[in-house]
A = this chain, B = another copy of it.
């Protein structure tokens, strides 16, 4: 039976201005986790969030994570965890978000003060953290408040996990989640994360996959110190020559990875999966707009989306140790480190990817017969993630989108990674849904970050509606 959502929706509309006020207060706290000077503001933001949750009747804890590794004079901001509702007859949904933000300075080119929510005549609400991730986090609080004020029973038990270090590597969070999975989070039936974005600006999406990332360094060293190319050019084997030769053998300019064994690990494309790409609201013009050019590898939507989401890619990021400034410098660098990464997809195993990379680089280096010294290593890796979009968690969200926006959501993946997704999946063993609130034009991490009023208010409706449909879905487990 379809849930009766009208009273809730109506109350959200009535409370819209006060929800925007809540966001204004949150944006005004410059909780920049990367900036030591702002650490006290990150704590202040955690306190703000805890107080708001408490005033809504949630049971709240601010859990310390200890000192910041490598900066022991700094305390890590707490994880704000909360429980709202404790009814054994209801499902329990664990939601994650973060209350810290990226740095922002007017001098970076902001058109408005970054920590002052500024709304233009098109309802675009500018401010650091508006879309990433204060708006979505407050969406959950708004949903609770609108239920209370509309006199509608909250359909689930809600568990909250809001961290304050997401923009600085989520220091300490994985251990915390693993430790609490069978404690504070033990009742969770599913997880929902609202911290990514629609593919475009009009149509909501549900995200069921992320690529992983293995990041490599190729280090070549030879001379004891940097050399003058006038004096030593022609007599020394130059590390940069070797490195350039190795980097040129990794990928062709059509995006094909040249390292044997990598492409062979990729899960074959099924007809069923192939059919998913057609209906997605995305055009090549969307790509060209975000690229700022027409320098795309593929000229059609399907191949482009598959290249972004379900095939691996290899990017060469740069060289450490060589001359990198403007102008001219006639140096022979003594040690250079080439950086590249491979975006990974099902069914690539990180350790096997590493083996293929190491073997190939070493073999190619051996062919050069160089007297220089090679070292190749993985700086870090993060696994890809794919959930089943058939799970009731996704089915509920899809119905909520249809209810609030009148359309079927796009079923999307992301080309990048959101590591906490896998942490939750592995720690809880439950299905994880990515349910974005913001749109592709929100400029998270950039200047002039914004969240559209529509996305915030309809998004609050969406989060509430999702919880109602979650409560209605049959108990068929299909992760």
Report A's interface with B, CB cutoff 8 A.
211, 213, 215, 222-225, 227-238, 240-242, 244-245, 247-249, 251-253, 255, 287, 290-298, 304, 307-308, 311-320, 322-334, 339, 341, 343, 368-372, 379-380, 414-417
Contacts and interface: CB of A to CB of B under 8 A. Distances in A.
Contacts of A292: 223-225, 334
A315 to B, nearest CB: 4
Contact of A252 (B234, B241, B343, B379): B241
A315 B253 contact: no
Contact of A317 (B213, B313, B333): B333
B233 A415 contact: yes
A367 to B, nearest CB: 10
B308 A332 contact: no
Contact of A295 (B213, B253, B371): B371
A242 B250 CA distance: 12
Nearest to A372: B295
A296 B223 CA distance: 9
A253 B241 contact: yes
Contact of A343 (B233, B242, B255, B369): B233
Nearest to A197: B231
26 contacts: A215-B328, A229-B343, A230-B415, A230-B416, A231-B290, A232-B290, A232-B291, A232-B308, A232-B415, A233-B314, A234-B343, A234-B415, A236-B296, A237-B253, A237-B255, A237-B297, A245-B253, A292-B334, A295-B370, A295-B371, A296-B371, A316-B322, A318-B329, A319-B319, A319-B322, A324-B324
B324 A293 contact: no
Contacts of A293: 222-224, 371
A251 B241 CA distance: 7
Given A228-B416, A247-B244, A343-B229, A325 B315 contact: no
Given A234-B255, A308-B231, A415-B230, A324 B319 contact: yes
Contact of A417 (B230, B253, B323, B379): B230
Contact of A379 (B236, B298, B324, B328): B328
A231 B317 contact: no
A438 to B, nearest CB: 14
B332 A328 contact: no
A231 to B, nearest CB: 5
A311 to B, nearest CB: 6
Given A223-B292, A323-B339, A324-B318, A231 B416 contact: yes
Contact of A315 (B233, B320, B416): B233
Contact of A370 (B253, B339, B343, B414): B253
Given A317-B330, A415-B231, A294 B371 contact: yes
A319 B338 CA distance: 11
